[in-house]
Structure 1
Amino acid sequence: MDKAKTKEAQYQVIVEAATERGVESMGLRSSESWYEDPKHIVFRFSRYKFVSKMLAGRKHALEVGCGDAFGTRIVQAEVDKLTGIDFDPVFIDDVKSRMVPRWTFDVFVHDMLDGPVPGEFDAVYALDVLEHIEPEQEELFLHNSFAPLDVEGVGIIGLPSLESQVYASTQSKAGHVNCKTAPDLKRLMQKYFYNVFMFSMNDEVVHTGFHKMAHYIFAVGAGRRR
């Protein structure tokens, strides 16, 4: 059977690529988001885009709580090496099943409450993870997450703001036991970094505006405390 021919020649490469290597699929979580609330994919990608620019040029980045890792590639494109971990084997199996040669990275099951990840990293980030950690365990979680960072390492934590939760959907709020205000997140991060920079986010826009009106917040830490 002959391959389909696009009307404009420059798009034929799309058909050729699909024929040669197939069409890539979304991860478990991303597929559900695309079905239930498509715009949420844009928000997630924007969070990864922000992290990717903050970490551009880093030698080895660790993603804590990578989930289906559908956005991980955005960060991977900006760093020399990336490792992803998640405590749920279902998500790790999903990530491995969709791995392609060009975008291969190390990924494995690890619960950060059990201890640090072996190895050395100059960047660690966790998006939409801390809000699932019980408050009494947050310092253990962050201590273990940042333990392998070198002295010049960068740490980024992103999570929904506490103020946003009155507007969150039932599915979004499920498991959210530890959302924070921006000042509270900054104070927490200052236990691990000498310098902490806060950013707000509404939909796909990251900014330095009034944190109480932000749906999502980022803390970027630099200068690792020992």
Structure 2
Amino acid sequence: MERASKEIHNQKQFDLYAELGPVRLGPYTSYIWRTDPKHLQFLLSRYLFVSKMLAGKSEALEVGCGDALGTPIVLQTVKKVYALDFEPIVIDAARHCIDPTLNCEFVVQDITEAPFAKKVDAVYSLDCIEHIPPEKSERYFANVAASINNDGIAIIGTPNITANAYASEGSRTCHVNLQSHETLRAALAAHFKNVFIYSMNDGLVHTGFYPMAHYLLGVGVGKKI
């Protein structure tokens, strides 16, 4: 016999849990939860920024989606998301973890090899560029821009190179293409008429002194044709 919640307003939470079971986490998210759970707050805050910036868009492309931890946040304001990653096993995990009722289509693709198959209203890419070899960096930015409609928007999020002194050994090993606010601005300015750079520390996005920001968010608007 099922037990009822003492507080009536909580019952719907127990009912949904009984119906659908616990939420599944993918390999990347599970690792973070087990080793550094506070980092999930930082990651989710980045997705919240994207969600706010892209509110009302019909279609967006996420480049480097991983196991799609924050994709549902973007889907609260964007009608459809194409979630792309070059790692087949993480895309397979994401497909099994995400709510199947969400309007999300997963794609295995390396963005440095070619643009996305169709043009979308916006592209966002969080914690991706720093993993791409420097010699492929320009192809990354060019193909991101080529995947966007002429009046679209791009959002690129990446750790600040000035924060590398405080990074873990693991981060230093895999972050092979760190950006500064100058290099991120220049890379976006090659493809967009307007570029805005935001600072981020922990979960707070702001316009403070760039060298003291742990994370950078670059926004490109108005594609150069």
Could you tell me how far 1:148 is from its partner in structure 2?
2.1
**Alignment partners' CA distance in 2, 1:43 and 1:14:** 26
Map 1:154-193; keep pairs closer than 5 Å: 154-193=153-192
Q: Does residue 99 of structure 1 match 2:98?
A: yes
Task: Give the match for residue 144 of structure 2.
Answer: 145
Q: Secondary structure at the match of 2:33?
A: helix
| Matched residue, 1:109 | 108
Task: Figure out how many residues of one structure are paired with residues of the other and give that number.
Answer: 225
Given that 2:141 and 2:187 are in contact with CA atoms closer than 8 Å, whether structure 1 keeps it comes out as: no
- SS of the equivalent of 2:174 reads coil
Within 1, Cα distance between the matches of 2:135 and 2:212? 27
Displacement after TM superposition at 1:84 (Å)? 0.5
* Deviation (angstroms), 1:190: 0.1
CA distance in 1, matches of 2:137, 2:111: 10
Partner of 2:195: 196
Give the SS at the match of 1:112: coil
Q: Secondary structure at the match of 1:73?
A: helix
> Is the 8 Å Cα contact of residues 4 and 15 (structure 1) preserved in structure 2?
no
Q: Which runs of 5+ in 2 are unaligned?
A: none
Q: Deviations over 1:117-170 (max 9, x none)?
A: 101201001000001111221111111122121111000100000001110112
TM-score (norm 2): 0.97
1:213 deviation in Å?
A: 0.2
Kindly report structure 1 stretches of 4+ aligned residues shifted beyond 2 Å: 99-102, 171-174
Gap runs ≥5 in structure 1: none
Query: After the TM superposition, which of the residue ranges 215-224 and 171-180 deviates more from structure 2?
Result: 171-180
CA contact (8 A) 2:124 2:154 kept: yes
| C-alpha distance in structure 1 between counterparts of 2:29 and 2:163, whole Å | 22
The residue aligned with 1:133 is: 132
Identical residues among aligned pairs (%): 42
**Deviation for aligned residue 1:24:** 1.0
Provide Cα deviations, 1:198-221, integer angstroms capped at 9, x if missing partner: 100000000000000000001100
Give the root-mean-square deviation of aligned CA atoms.
1.0
| Cα shift at 1:114 | 1.5
Answering whether residue 211 of structure 2 is matched by residue 223 of structure 1, we say no
CA contact (8 A) 2:81 2:103 kept: no
Tell me whether 144-153 or 84-93 shows the greater mean CA deviation. 144-153
Secondary structure in 2 matching 1:15:
helix
Any residues of structure 2 matched to 1:56-71 within 5 Å, and which?
56-71=55-70
Give how far 1:4 is off: 2.5
2:101 is paired with a residue of what secondary structure?
Answer: helix
Q: Provide the secondary structure at the position in 1 that maps to 2:158.
A: strand
Report what 1:205 is aligned to: 204
| Secondary structure of 2:24 counterpart | coil
Residue 36 of structure 1: aligned partner:
35
**1:142 match: secondary structure:** helix
Alignment TM-score, normalising by the size of structure 1: 0.97
